[in-house]
Every structure is written in structure tokens, then in C-alpha cells.
Amino acid sequence: MIKRPPKYVMEWMSRTLAILYGIDEIIYSGKTKYQLVDIVRTRDYGLALILDGLLQSAEVDEYVYHESLVHPAMISHPNPRRVLIVGGGEGATAREVERYDVVEELEMVDLDGELIELVKKYLPWSKEGFSDPRLKLTIMEGREYLSKQPDGKYDVIIMDATDPAEFSPAIKLYTREFYQLAFRKLRDNGILVTQSSSPAHTLKLSLSILKTIGSVFPKSSIYSVYVKSFASIWSFSIGSKGPQPSTLSSEEVDRRLRERNVRGLRFYSGDVHEALFKLTEAILRNWRAEPVILTDEKPLTPDAIVDIFHPAPMEEHSN
């Protein structure tokens, strides 16, 4: 006899598409100053973090997302000694950066200190990232923090913020003005990488983020990976002052991983690096959208706006 999960979550992927998945246990449900937080045990994805009704990370494949976000940029830079993470509140992005012995200074800035304390308590994969003595954590809005740093400070900037949706505090972390700021804060050969939403469901948004980055950086590229718990292909966009990650061969990536003593990877490798870019290139040959440059005045695309109710914590919903 199959046990029916006591609750289901319906998550909107776009204006017209939603997915449904079962919740076996609600471990925590509440609000921080900035967002709704649910930490649940799902039947399909294991332990999962849900923010404002949208699944952000899950036990079954968080490493796929975080390794894909971090390593193409880190391995492409010739000497990534100073790294900034904007967002990344659950700690797994920091964990991946910390695999590099060459990293001397690692700063992380996140708006929601309450969320960080919750994930430290409830998400096992978060604890490792916060334990490295190189990590300097600041609770502040990311753009404000970056504006206070000296020009040419960082080798790599990693953006792990939520999507630029309506009413999101992250909305102006994806605009041309923000990328111009980040450009100034990067050293020669500096690289910025950001998550850039789902090309399967919000293609115009993904390509607009790429186009906006390309309007500032001399080199830009996009790559993607399938994330089971997101029920979608997920993209990442890079802006670079020098290195071009898409041109690295699998052999060169593996050589650099060995030289930099990067251990403990579960997904990323030289072969995966090549596949991330080649798969995306093949997909985008057949998918069409007209991207726009995102600005502080116009930071959204139509497909980033989903007309749904603002969810309440799960404990407030009936079965």
C-alpha cells in the first residue's frame, strides 16, 4: 500500500505551467524579515529548502547546481585568490569555493541573516561551507556591500541570488548598472558568474541576463544543466575580462583541478565542463526569444512576472 504524502506543493514555473510534488514532513515553516522559509522532507527530492513557495535547494541534487555555478568560473581564472559570493545563504556555494587551496580571501554577503541561522540548523550540506576560517560573512544587501569595496579587489564574483522577479530584493542584482559596478570591482582577468534562471520556462529572462552582461563585459557566455529538483534545465551566465570558460577543453579542466588540489566533487569534471556549454549551444539553436538589456529603470522581462498569490507558510495551509 502506497502512503499518500500529507501535503503537496504546487510550484509555478511560468505564467502557464506549474508542477506538483509531495511533502512527507514539514521540518520548519516560518518567516524571516525578508521571505517565507519552509524546510521540508519531500518524497522525490529528500530534504529541501523552499523560499516564498519556490524550491531553492534539495538534498538529491544541490551539488549539481552548486558545482555547476562555481567551478566553470573558478577553474577558468588563472589565479582566483580573492572571491566574493553575493547571496548563497545556504552555504553550499561557499563550500565549493573552499575546495580551492589557492583562495586566500573569501567574502560572502547575504541579506537574510535569519535564513543563514535556519539552514545551519536544519540543512546538513550547509554546515561545511560556514566552517572554513577563510570565510568572512557579512549580513547586508549585496549591491550596497559591493559599492563600498575598492575597485579591482576581486578575481571572481559569484552571484547566487534568487531570480529577478517582482518584489524580489534581488531584482537590481541583474541590471546593467549592477554589472558595471561589478566590472569595476574585478581585477584584470576578473570573472563574474550568476545563476540566470530557466531557459526552458523563462527563456527571455535567461537570454536577457546574458545580453545585459555582454553589454558590460568584453566576453560573455551561457551554459546550463538539468536540475531534477527544479524540474528544469537551469542556466548560468558568465562575464569575463579575460578568460573564456567555454573554450577550455576537458583535458585542461581536469589538469587544473589536479593542480589546484580540488577534491570531493560529485558532479563537475572536464567532460561535464565541455558538456555544459555544448548542450546549451545546441538547445539555443532551436529556442528563440528576443532578449533585452535589463536596467535599474526596467529590470524585468514579461516572463519573469508570475501572477500568483503570495504564499503563506505551509503550517498555515490546510491539508
Q: Please list the active-site residues.
A: 160
Give buried/exposed letters for 236-257 (b at 16+ CB in 10 A, else e).
bbbbbebbebbebeeeebeebb
- The amino acid at 264: G
- 111 with 139: CB under 8 angstroms? yes
Query: Backbone phi, then psi, for 303, in 5-degree steps?
Result: -75, -5
Triad 276, 229, 88: Cα angle to 5°: 75
Measured CA to CA, the distance from residue 122 to residue 39 in angstroms comes to 8
Beta bridge partners of 151: none
| Burial class of residue 16 (count of CB atoms within 10 Å of its CB; 0-12, 13-18, 19+) | exposed
Q: Which three cell numbers stand for residue 200?
A: 526552458
| DSSP per-residue codes, 221-236 | EEEEEEEGGGTEEEEE
Query: Backbone phi, then psi, for 294, in 5-degree steps?
Result: -80, 135
Measured CA to CA, the distance from residue 191 to residue 62 in angstroms comes to 23
| DSSP per-residue codes, 261-306 | T----SS--HHHHHHHHHHHHHHHTT---------SSS---GGG--
Beta bridge partners of 105: 82
